[in-house]
Structure 1
């Protein structure tokens, strides 16, 4: 047992199992890292970073000129920043009219609680289902057609919402917006992996996370300035949003080619049957694109919206079942209550912000309600800056104490800060609102809530990704499904409950749930390696084809 992480047993014996996914040798030497990644391969034959002979590229690029890993730097950067623009818009879609939802509910002739159910509860439920469906479509069709289709649907549904004159029409428009948001919620991480090497991904993933939080927390501030003008109102909020999505569609069509690319694996040399080995290597050589007849696609060829159907080892129904196989595995279930509930608290704060600050004693206008998000925006920013380095630092320190062996559980320490600041933030937020404290008080605690949630959810995501490196798509799909189901269930009547029981009681309960879920991290830390071993033995995912999963 290293650093209090229990070792799993094999077949009831005291022997340790040979391999548990996620456990690795911790080494900051890039050559050592490559040796572990390409076990048995002659490292002198592998490709290295330009200008860095000590840095072996992971994954290894092919010789095909169309390999996204070989795109020029400018093309990768344009591709990435379009993804970031889309991420900001998807983050903005949820709280787009949160600052004025009480007024909009009255215009459409429904109660604030009913409107919140449509705006958030049914919205995230639809998003949960769409995530599963689009995940399968992406595996079969590639990413480019999914990005284009979803962006067009997002633009059309935003225009639809701006013209909706009944609650039924508005609700339908919001459901289609949820469907359209799904790909840009779960697919960006996979696109980053398509284009960048392992040693480059850290900063891009951090920017992606920051962009999503920027979209969520800055939108009420900006939208509030439009909502306060009677001649514009929520109608023009949706129209301005549609215009921004229209710009995104143009950028995606011209500057975001397909990034899905199937590479042959890097194979170690065989010690027997050299003829067969030579034939396999030749086949891999051709498949990787070393064939001189392969030509680089022209700009016009890259504009093709669809590049055919990708072959998979399993049928569509098995692909649909992949995330559900993961839902109740120990690590993903823990991630569901830590990450899923953490994001749900953000949704619950957003759906009640207009009720809280638009009522006595504050009586804020929609513009002023939007400005209350300055605190959360700063809190999320500080959390984003701190979360990554803190998670990596804890992993590094504990790995050294564990004789150079890294366990994913070492990244869970920041959850302690989630416990402290989460309880402080929600208790303080509820008490200051109940006592009618000056607006600066609840806004500061609102920011602390966001700071805490960023720390907790970042630790949870890092842990799940490291536990399921060969099945990340299925694990994250299950995690996002948990998040949307929690959001659907807990936001259903939350506005009504807040008005009935008061902010002090409601947010104190949330603080208690945060304390409970954070304390669940202790058994997860201690027994996490055993849980990973159990998942590896009972739910078999092919490492050669991550699109294949079979319950065992």
Structure 2
């Protein structure tokens, strides 16, 4: 038992467990165990010593073979869409009280229209869109979802009816779902493993910017023009996104031939890039040996490079060799019941739900005496959580590397994914401190700086805790990362929907101090569940590897 992690009784090599190494080819050694790395494709220029993971094909239309400027262009569109995705939730949260008065509804009803309807649509749309993206590719899914988000925003921007507002938020949620889960997979489509560090960090930062910078901006818009103009401006942003997606974001889904069809090492437990990700160059009609001595036959020539107009095609047909629709729908359901997804669903789902809860309470607390803030001033209070989340995002990488290095050294050079879980300590401390402090300071009606600082502490802790949880899910579900993440996101959205249904009634009945005292206690409880997850995590990973086999047609996921 290394560092209190129990050893597995079934597998000698549990997926995720590896020798800690600073070697830039460590990923290739793990992915292509048993193959001669010198015969595989390498990077160019200063990266010529790096074995490419995944191995690109010789097809010029393979997204991995695109020039860097084209990859960065697609990534820019993805980042812009991510900012929009983050902005939609809190778009008019600074004016809940004003909207309720204008539409002659209770604050609880408005919270359900703006929050509950959105997250419920997100939950079920995520599953449906994920199936479609596997069957028909990502480009038509991105375009259709943006149009739905655009239509919903236009309706919200001109409605005077509560029920219409609810319907428009459902449309927005269905559209937003794609930008919540498919961006990470798209990054994996176009960048090699050694190139993904900066794009993933920028993607995380874009999501944080969208969530936390929107209220200060929308607060100014609400004060000057009214809350409907927030939706109208958002609709314009969606229109710009749609144009960029049409002209600057070709299809990134690509099916590659196996590097060695008869090679068993590719099915090794440590493989993170499956057979669909690897191939070798083969000329038309030529027989050629793979690095392991396997002979691969090619019956077709390398395709010609598509023209720009051909790349603009929205429909590329149904992708062959993909599972049935029912199989794809069933995968996240199965993944929900794995030990790691149950734990991560609680930790991640509860944490994100608390952000929804506190966003709702901000408008109620600061719009009432003694603060009596205008919508623009309420929006400015979100600068504190933005700074907290930004600091956490900058620290996550170095903290994870430090923990991995030190704990692997203490574990005789062996890295265990459970080492990620020590970062949950930050969430336990700063999250609980923030929630208890927020409840106490808001109840006592302390000067505004008090609750605002605690608001920042909450976001700092949640960002680090969620990053650790999602990273561990990907490590534990090497063969089924997409399904596992889909399960966690689905759980998060369902939990958020349930909480937003009665959140305002809860505030009215129990008061801010009582509510956030309970929230702080639940936060500590979910963090304490990390202790058994840490101890039994290696055995859980072994069980997942032995019982879940989704890897044959699964895309590699990246999560923040």
Q: Please, what TM-score do these two structures have when normalized by structure 2? A: 0.92
Compute the displacement of 1:337 (Å): 0.8
Q: Is the counterpart of residue 157 in structure 1 residue 152 in structure 2?
A: yes
Local SS of the residue matching 1:500: helix
Q: Deviations over 1:374-400 (max 9, x none)?
A: 111111111111112212221222122
**Match among 476, 480, 483 for residue 485 of structure 2:** 476
> 2:235 matched to which residue of 1?
242
Task: Write the distance in 2 (CA, Å) between the matches of 1:32 and 1:376.
Answer: 36
The answer on whether the counterparts of 1:113 and 1:493 sit within 8 Å (CA) in structure 2 is yes
Matches within 5 A, 1:383-532: 383-532=392-541
> 1:76 matched to which residue of 2?
71
Local SS of the residue matching 2:549: strand
Compute the displacement of 1:504 (Å): 1.1
Q: Which runs of 4+ in 1 moved over 4 A?
A: 268-271, 275-280
The answer on whether the counterparts of 2:261 and 2:296 sit within 8 Å (CA) in structure 1 is no
> 2:278 matched to which residue of 1?
none
> 1:6 matched to which residue of 2?
6
Compute the displacement of 1:536 (Å): 2.2
> 2:23 matched to which residue of 1?
29
Q: Is the counterpart of residue 95 in structure 1 residue 90 in structure 2?
A: yes
> 2:42 matched to which residue of 1?
48
Matches within 5 A, 1:215-364: 215-229=210-224, 232-267=225-260, 281-283=295-297, 291-292=301-302, 294-364=303-373
> 2:134 matched to which residue of 1?
139
Task: Write the distance in 2 (CA, Å) between the matches of 1:270 and 1:80.
Answer: 34
Local SS of the residue matching 1:3: coil
> 2:390 matched to which residue of 1?
381
Compute the displacement of 1:494 (Å): 1.1
Task: Write the distance in 1 (CA, Å) between the matches of 2:377 and 2:134.
Answer: 44
The answer on whether the counterparts of 1:380 and 1:447 sit within 8 Å (CA) in structure 2 is yes
Structure 2: which 5+ runs fail to align?
265-286
The answer on whether the counterparts of 1:125 and 1:485 sit within 8 Å (CA) in structure 2 is yes
Local SS of the residue matching 1:9: coil
The answer on whether the counterparts of 2:480 and 2:548 sit within 8 Å (CA) in structure 1 is no
The answer on whether the counterparts of 1:392 and 1:411 sit within 8 Å (CA) in structure 2 is no
**Match among 547, 552, 557 for residue 544 of structure 1:** 552
The answer on whether the counterparts of 1:21 and 1:536 sit within 8 Å (CA) in structure 2 is yes
Local SS of the residue matching 1:49: coil
> 2:118 matched to which residue of 1?
123
Compute the displacement of 1:75 (Å): 0.7
Task: Write the distance in 2 (CA, Å) between the matches of 1:39 and 1:116.
Answer: 52
Task: Write the distance in 1 (CA, Å) between the matches of 2:128 and 2:261.
Answer: 37
Count residues in correspondence. 531
The answer on whether the counterparts of 2:216 and 2:376 sit within 8 Å (CA) in structure 1 is yes
Higher mean alpha-carbon deviation, 47-56 vs 217-226, is at 47-56
The answer on whether the counterparts of 1:221 and 1:370 sit within 8 Å (CA) in structure 2 is yes
The answer on whether the counterparts of 2:336 and 2:487 sit within 8 Å (CA) in structure 1 is yes
The answer on whether the counterparts of 1:41 and 1:269 sit within 8 Å (CA) in structure 2 is no
> 1:59 matched to which residue of 2?
54
> 1:13 matched to which residue of 2?
none
Task: Write the distance in 2 (CA, Å) between the matches of 1:48 and 1:492.
Answer: 53
Local SS of the residue matching 2:25: helix
Task: Write the distance in 2 (CA, Å) between the matches of 1:270 and 1:440.
Answer: 62
Compute the displacement of 1:313 (Å): 4.5
Task: Write the distance in 2 (CA, Å) between the matches of 1:389 and 1:481.
Answer: 29
Compute the displacement of 1:269 (Å): 7.7
Task: Write the distance in 2 (CA, Å) between the matches of 1:335 and 1:366.
Answer: 35
> 1:208 matched to which residue of 2?
203
Task: Write the distance in 2 (CA, Å) between the matches of 1:544 and 1:266.
Answer: 14
Local SS of the residue matching 1:187: helix
Compute the displacement of 1:404 (Å): 2.4
Compute the displacement of 1:466 (Å): 1.0
Q: Deviations over 1:498-544 (max 9, x none)?
A: 12221111111111111111111011000001111122223332x33
> 2:14 matched to which residue of 1?
20
The answer on whether the counterparts of 2:436 and 2:520 sit within 8 Å (CA) in structure 1 is yes
Q: Deviations over 1:381-422 (max 9, x none)?
A: 111111122122212221222222221101111100111111
Q: Aligned in 2, Cα 1:88/1:33: closer, same or farther, shift over 3 Å?
A: closer
Structure 1: which 5+ runs fail to align?
11-16
The answer on whether the counterparts of 2:366 and 2:378 sit within 8 Å (CA) in structure 1 is yes
The answer on whether the counterparts of 1:42 and 1:268 sit within 8 Å (CA) in structure 2 is no
Task: Write the distance in 2 (CA, Å) between the matches of 1:403 and 1:37.
Answer: 22
Local SS of the residue matching 1:204: helix
The answer on whether the counterparts of 1:41 and 1:268 sit within 8 Å (CA) in structure 2 is no
The answer on whether the counterparts of 2:41 and 2:52 sit within 8 Å (CA) in structure 1 is yes
**Match among 364, 367, 371 for residue 380 of structure 2:** 371
